[in-house]
Structure 1
C-alpha cells in the first residue's frame, strides 16, 4: 500500500468523519478570503478589457433581456463563453454598472471555489486537514488576485466553480457508479465549458485522479486498464474537443490568435518552458506581479538573455523536479499527480498557440496551481504523519504561510483599484513593458497630465515602434490639445496598424471633421462601419455629416441605429433631439433630450437645446 495520508481510497472506503474543527477552520478561510479582497469592493472598473466585457458593452449594459441572452451565445471578445456573458448581465440587473457589486460577486465565487475545492478533495481523498490546507494555498495566494480583482476575468472564477463541481460529482460517480451520476459529471463539465474553455483539460485530470487518490488504474482484480478508463470518459473528451475547436475558431475569427510568423515554434516552446519555471518561482516567491508581462521574443527584448537563458534554466529545473516526483511516485503518488496536473492544465494557456502579446499571465495559474497546492498539502500531511513530533511545527508553519499569503494578496489587490494604479505598478515592477507604458499614458492623458502621458507613450514606441494603440493614444492626445493636423498624422499610423478597428477610424474621422475635410471623414466612417456595422460612434459621426449636408432622413437613420446599438448613448439622444428640433418636431424631440439629460446632464449643448424646447 502506498504511503498516503489515508488508509483507504474513497472509491472503496469511507471519507474521514467530519471534524467540527475542520469546518470551523474552513469558515475562517472564507473570512480570510473576504479580508484579503475587501479593498476590491471600492475599486473601479479598469480600461483593461472591462469596457469590452462590461462598462461599454451595450448588450451587457442592457442587463438580462431576450435579445442580450441570445447575443451571449455568439462569438464575442475572441471567445465563446455564453455563461460568462450571462453572469455579467445578471450583475447589471442586480447592481447596474456600479463596480462594487461586480467585484463582490467575483470574490464570492472565489470563496465558493475554495469551499468546493475542499469538499471535492475531501471526497476524493478522504483527508480533512490536507484538503483544507490545499484549499487555503489555492485561495489565499497572491497569484489569484488577477482572476478575482479583475471584473473581466469573471470567466476564471465562474468556470472553476464548475471544475470543482465536476470533481465532486466524479467522486460520487466512482463511489456509486450509475448513468445518472455520470450524467451529472458530464453536465457540470459542459456547463463549465460555457464559462471558459479552460476546462478542456479536466477529462485528463480525472484520469490522473483515477491513479491517485482513487486507485482505479491497474491490472489486478478490481482495477481497470487505461483504455477502459479513457473509454468510460469518451463523452467528456468529446465535450472538451468541441469546446477547443469552438474557442480556436472564435479567437481566429476575431484576430486574437496573432500572426505567428515573428514567433517561431521553437521560440514559443522556449517561452512555454520559461513560463512554467516563472509560475513556480512566483508560487514560491510572489513578488513583482503585474497585469502584463512582455513576450521575451517580442519587440525590444534580448532573446538570448530574456528567452533562451531563462528557458534553459527552467528546463533543467523542470527536468529535475520531474525526475524527483517519478522517483517518489510509489511512496508519495500525490507529488506525481499534482505535478502532472500542473503541467497538463497549463497546455491551453502556455502560448504554443499565441493569443495576445503577453509572455505569461497570473490568471493562467488559477487552475494549474491547484495541482501544486495538492502536492504541497498532502506532502505536509504525509511528513506530519511520518514524523508525529513535527506535527505542531507543520501546523504553525502552514498557518503562518497562509496568513502571509493573505497579507500579500491584500497588498496586490490594492493595485487593481483603478487603471492608473494598475499600470503604474506594472511599469514599476517590470522592464521594457511597452503595453503598461502605453496604458499608463492613457490614464495620464485622461487625467489631463498631457506631458507625462506623452513621455510614457514615447517610451513605449522606443520599445515597440509598431504598436498601433500607442499611435492612437498620441493622436487623441494631440486632438485634446487642439493640434488636429498632428492628430491626423498619428491616427493615420494607428489605422494603418489596425485597419479593422472601427474606433480608430471613427476618432480619425472626428479630427478630419474638425479640419473641415468631410469627404475624407465620410470615407473613414464608411470603412469603420464596414468592419462593424453597429459601431455607435461611427454611426453618430456619419449622422452628423448627413445633418450638416441637410440629408435629414439619412441623419435620422444613423442616429436611431446608433441608439439601437448602444441604448444608453447620450450623445445620440442629444443629436436626435437636435434633428427633431431643427425640423420643428418638438414633441418627438422632448423624450430624447430628456433622456440625454438623465444620462449626461452636463453634456455640451444640452442646456441650449432644452431652452429651445421650453420656449
Structure 2
C-alpha cells in the first residue's frame, strides 16, 4: 500500500476510534469543581467574545493563573453554544482528536515506524488517564496547550531540516501561545533537547563517541534554545508570583524539602501504576497526612533502578532513555516540589508525560520480538488486547463525569478519606437548593478533616441558607485560614450576607466594603451592598452600588430592578421605570417586577 494512503487511513481510524469511545461525553453536564469559575458563573466568559471580556482575559490573574487564551477558548464556546455543556465538551473532544492525529504524524515522521506510532497515538487517545483532561470542561487548557506543544514540535522538525529565523520563530511562538493557555509548556525546550539526542542524534551518540564530545554538542544545543528557556523561566516566574500572592504556595515551614522529595518519588510511581491499572481513577486525590517510609523507599529505589537501566541503554537503545527522560522531565512542573493546592496527584497531569512510557513499550516490544517469526501476530494481538482493555475502562470513566453527583459519589467510594469529594458532593446539593442534605455530607467531610477551610466555609454557607446564622458564623470563623482564591474577599462577603439577613445593615456594609476593596467587580457584593445601603436610607449611595453592578453585568434583572427601586426612592421616576422595564424583559416571569413596573407607570401618569 502507498505509505501516504496508509497513513491517512490510520489517521482516519484514530479519529473514528476516539470519537466512538468519547461520544457519550456530549451528554455530560458541567461539574461544580472549577466549571463555575471558568464558565457557568463567570460574568466575563458568559458574555462571549466582547471587547471588554477579551481585555479582561489578557489582564486578569483570576483563579490563580494568567492564561488569556484559555479564557478566550471558553468565551468562544459560549459564543457558539451558549451554556449548553454538550457543545463545550465536544470542543474539548475535537481538540483531543486533533492532538491524537498530530501525535501519530509526529511520531511517524520521527521514527518512520507507522504501526508503532499508530499504537502510541491510539493509547494516548483512549487511555483512561486522559478522560479528566477531555471530559472536564475546565481542563480545556490541558488539551489546548498540548495542541500547541505538538505544533511546536512539528515546527522544530521543520527548523532542523532548514534552519532559519522564520522557522525558529515558529517554534518560539508555538511555545509562547501554549504558555498563554497553560504554563505546563515550561518543559518544552527540554523535550527539544531530548529530540536532539534521539532520534536526530545531534550529539553524535555512537560506539566510538567520547563523552566530552557529546557534552560539547549538548551545550551547543542548549545555547541554541536559550530564547526558549528564557520564555520558560519568565512563565515560571509569573506563575509562581501569581500563586504566591494568592497564598496558593505552601511554604517550606509547612512542607519541608524532605517531604517534597518523598511526595515526588511516590507520585512518579503512582502515576506509572495508574497507567498500567487504571481502575481506581478519581478526582480529587487529597494530599496524604503521612507517607509510609517503606513506600517512599521502594518508590525511590524503583525510580533509581529504571534510570540506571535507561542510562545503560543510552547508545544501543536510545529510545529507552528518551522515553524515560520525557516522562520524568515533562512531569516535573506538577510533581509537587513547589506545592500548590491540596491535591497530591491528578490524572490530567499525565496527558503529555505518559507518551514517553507508551513509546518505550511500543518500541521495546518490537525490539524484543525482532527475531521471532510470529512477531507480527504477537504484536497485533497484544496491541488489540491492550486497546480493548483501555477502552472498557475509559468508557466507564467518562460516565463518572456525567454530573457532580456521579463524579463525587464515585470519588468518595474510590479514595478512602476523600474529604474534598465530600465537599463537592455536598455543594451539589447546595446548588440544588437542598441545604439540609448538603449539611449531612459537609459534616462527614469534617469528621475526616475538621480543619478543612473549604468544608468549614461550605458548612457555614449551608447553615446560612437554612437561616442558622449564629452557627454559620462559627464555621466561617473556622475557615478564616482559607488560602485560595482571595479567601479574605470571600469570607467578608459571607459575613456581610449573614449580617444583612439579620438586618444589621451597617455591619453588613462594613464587610462588603472590605470584600469590594479586593474584588471591585463582584456583582453579588455590589447588589447586597446596595440593599444594605437602602436599609440605612442611603438611597444615593445604594444607586451608585447598583449602577456599578449594572455596568459590569447589564443582563442582570435583579440589579436592574434594585437600581430602579433606588432611582424611585430619590424621585427619578422615569429613569426608574426604564430600569423596571428592562428588569421585566430579563425576568418576564417575575410577578414582583411586573407589579412594581405597573405601579410606577400608574404613579407617573398621575391622578
Return the TM-score normalized by structure 1.
0.91
Quickly say closer, same or farther: Cα 1:583–1:519, change in 2 above 3 A: closer
More displaced stretch, 382-391 vs 218-227: 218-227
Distance 2:283 2:144 in 1: 20
Any conservation in 1 of the 2:577–2:601 contact (CA below 8 Å)? no
Quickly say closer, same or farther: Cα 1:604–1:127, change in 2 above 3 A: farther
Any conservation in 2 of the 1:500–1:528 contact (CA below 8 Å)? no
More displaced stretch, 276-285 vs 98-107: 98-107
* Count of matched residue pairs: 593
Distance 2:346 2:311 in 1: 28
Q: Which residue does the alignment assign to 2:192?
A: 206
1:484 aligns with 2:469: yes
Which residue of 35, 38, 44 corresponds with 2:23? 38
1:61 aligns with 2:46: yes
1:542 aligns with 2:542: no
Task: Describe the SS at the equivalent of 2:537.
Answer: coil
Q: Which residue does the alignment assign to 1:436?
A: 421
More displaced stretch, 418-427 vs 581-590: 581-590
Paired residues for 1:307-346 under 5 Å: 307-346=292-331
Distance 1:231 1:374 in 2: 28
Q: Which residue does the alignment assign to 2:80?
A: 94
- Structure 2 gap segments, 5+ residues each: 603-607
Q: Which residue does the alignment assign to 2:498?
A: 511
1:239 aligns with 2:231: yes
Which residue of 431, 441, 451 corresponds with 1:446? 431
Distance 1:387 1:174 in 2: 36
Which residue of 372, 376, 399 corresponds with 2:361? 376
Q: Which residue does the alignment assign to 1:589?
A: 576
Distance 1:448 1:545 in 2: 24
1:564 aligns with 2:564: no
Any conservation in 2 of the 1:58–1:567 contact (CA below 8 Å)? no
Q: Which residue does the alignment assign to 2:445?
A: 460
Q: Which residue does the alignment assign to 1:11?
A: none
Which of structures 1 and 2 has the larger relative contact order (alpha carbons within 8 angstroms, sep 6+)?
Answer: 1
Which residue of 580, 584, 588 corresponds with 2:567? 580
Distance 2:88 2:315 in 1: 46
Task: Describe the SS at the equivalent of 2:87.
Answer: helix
1:397 aligns with 2:389: no
Distance 1:408 1:309 in 2: 30
Q: Which residue does the alignment assign to 1:28?
A: 13
Return the TM-score normalized by structure 2.
0.92
1:609 aligns with 2:601: no
Post-superposition shift, 1:435? 0.8
Post-superposition shift, 1:596? 3.5
More displaced stretch, 310-319 vs 536-545: 310-319
Which residue of 63, 72, 80 corresponds with 2:66? 80
Which residue of 132, 152, 156 corresponds with 1:166? 152
Distance 2:597 2:62 in 1: 38
Paired residues for 1:5-154 under 5 Å: 18-74=3-59, 75-154=61-140
Post-superposition shift, 1:533? 1.6
Distance 1:120 1:590 in 2: 63
Any conservation in 1 of the 2:451–2:478 contact (CA below 8 Å)? no
Any conservation in 2 of the 1:270–1:307 contact (CA below 8 Å)? no
Distance 2:378 2:595 in 1: 74
Any conservation in 1 of the 2:435–2:463 contact (CA below 8 Å)? no
Which residue of 239, 248, 257 corresponds with 1:256? 248
**In the TM superposition, what whole-angstrom CA distance separates every residue of 1:31-74 from its partner, at most 9, and x where no partner exists?**
22122222221222111111111111122122222222222122
Quickly say closer, same or farther: Cα 1:406–1:602, change in 2 above 3 A: farther
**RMSD after superposition:** 2.3
Quickly say closer, same or farther: Cα 1:408–1:595, change in 2 above 3 A: farther
Quickly say closer, same or farther: Cα 1:384–1:172, change in 2 above 3 A: farther
Post-superposition shift, 1:585? 4.2
Distance 2:218 2:365 in 1: 30
Quickly say closer, same or farther: Cα 1:97–1:450, change in 2 above 3 A: closer
Quickly say closer, same or farther: Cα 1:591–1:423, change in 2 above 3 A: farther
Any conservation in 2 of the 1:62–1:89 contact (CA below 8 Å)? yes
Task: Describe the SS at the equivalent of 1:359.
Answer: strand
Q: Which residue does the alignment assign to 2:340?
A: 355
Distance 2:413 2:556 in 1: 37
Distance 1:553 1:53 in 2: 34
Distance 1:363 1:261 in 2: 28
Distance 1:39 1:307 in 2: 39
Post-superposition shift, 1:497? 4.2
Task: Describe the SS at the equivalent of 2:479.
Answer: helix
1:292 aligns with 2:271: no
Moved over 6 A (4+): 219-224
Post-superposition shift, 1:108? 0.6
Distance 1:608 1:308 in 2: 69
Q: Which residue does the alignment assign to 1:283?
A: 275
- Structure 1 gap segments, 5+ residues each: 1-15
Distance 1:538 1:228 in 2: 56
Task: Describe the SS at the equivalent of 1:400.
Answer: helix
Quickly say closer, same or farther: Cα 1:401–1:495, change in 2 above 3 A: same
Q: Which residue does the alignment assign to 1:177?
A: 163
Q: Which residue does the alignment assign to 2:605?
A: none
